[in-house]
Homo-oligomer: A and B are copies of this chain.
């Protein structure tokens, strides 16, 4: 991948400070080591799933689903995959019923993914599906060693895989959480990790991405009071779920109380898909408040050569400029045109990421690039990038509501 910045950022000292902090973090934060992991255990596990299994279902939410979905949906349109992959990630009853109607329980294997085993969404869905299909062999549980969920899985003699240490949900896609469902579908997980490794090496071993990532992170941090909305404008429908993954990574990591102040800080992520969102969000970037930076993502080779045919439509001759143009060239010209228009405004920070083609290695690179960028910006805006204390309050209220509800039911039954 190539990353070009169209803004200047020269604060060597802060850059060096951030680089040292991130090097240091490798000792405590687990995701940095994932690119080099030995995938033998994942491959061995995949061998245990019978060929008759045609569908893999992930029951998980947030960090347990978004990463695998991003990669699956990126690769799927260009690669004949071995199995289909579905995600149950909502308590919306219509959504559950609709998804269930698409799968054949007899040829489906379920991956239940939860660190502790107490995620309300995951276990309300699991209970429902298990009541329809109570065959422990149809389930694998991915959880923390020693968790109550592991004990449950042992009690029904289902398969268990472990989450690695010190890897938070939103940084876990390159661990068992993402690798297992992806490998089961025939995604080349070794290539995925290789892509991540290339970025990691370029950053830590003084390659070209070190300079770019540091400049970008320092710029975002220093200017975060003005440019606090970060738009990712990806010119490919296949990056739609990558954008959702990015939104979680960025929002949940960087929207925090500062460690050493009482300030609320946060960078707001927005995922956009071109050219569609030229007809939706672009007006706001172009003429709205100057609070947005934009990163364009372009794919050079779509691996699809369809071309606009050389036909003239009477009365619409002005459209003949399109004739003979491959769609992949058109979509990239659209991206370039919007980027130029925004650059002409002079006060919108722009950068572009160009990835050569749609494959596992490239999405692996993109993922690790964004993980590193998030860690750098988190360090520079003085937040704990890896926790999410803000989501606890709602969970506590829900627990209270559920307990009150049970009490009411019990009173009713005994009354």
Say yes or no for A314: interface residue by CB 8 A criterion: yes
A118 contacts B405, CB within 8 Å? Answer: no
Pick the contact of A284: B92, B266, B318 (CB < 8 A): B266
Pick the contact of A331: B92, B155, B281 (CB < 8 A): B92
A264 contacts B290, CB within 8 Å? Answer: yes
Pick the contact of A313: B152, B283, B340 (CB < 8 A): B152
Would you list which residues of chain A between 312 and 342 have a CB under 8 Å from chain B? Answer: 313-316, 318-328, 330-331, 333-334, 336-338, 340-342
> Given contacts A124-B327, A338-B394, A358-B94, are A402 and B238 in contact (CB under 8 A)?
no
A279 to chain B, nearest CB (A): 3
B155 contacts A238, CB within 8 Å? Answer: no
B402 contacts A316, CB within 8 Å? Answer: no
Determine the residue in chain B with the shortest Cβ distance to A400.
B337
A268 contacts B252, CB within 8 Å? Answer: no
B394 contacts A337, CB within 8 Å? Answer: yes
Determine the residue in chain B with the shortest Cβ distance to A77.
B94
Pick the contact of A405: B304, B325, B328 (CB < 8 A): B325
Q: How far is the CA of A169 from the CA of B131 in the complex (A)?
A: 47
Would you list which residues of chain A between 139 and 157 have a CB under 8 Å from chain B? Answer: 148-149, 151-152, 155-156
Say yes or no for A248: interface residue by CB 8 A criterion: yes
Pairs across A and B, CB under 8 Å, 10 listed = A92-B238, A120-B275, A120-B319, A120-B330, A123-B313, A228-B289, A283-B390, A284-B390, A334-B398, A337-B398
- The interface of chain A, by Cβ under 8 A from chain B, is 61-63, 66, 77-78, 89-98, 117-118, 120-121, 123-124, 127-128, 130-131, 148-149, 151-152, 155-156, 169, 228-229, 235-238, 244, 247-248, 251-252, 254-257, 264-266, 268, 270, 273, 275-276, 278-292, 302-309, 311, 313-316, 318-328, 330-331, 333-334, 336-338, 340-342, 344, 358, 388-391, 393-395, 397-399, 401-403, 405-406, 409
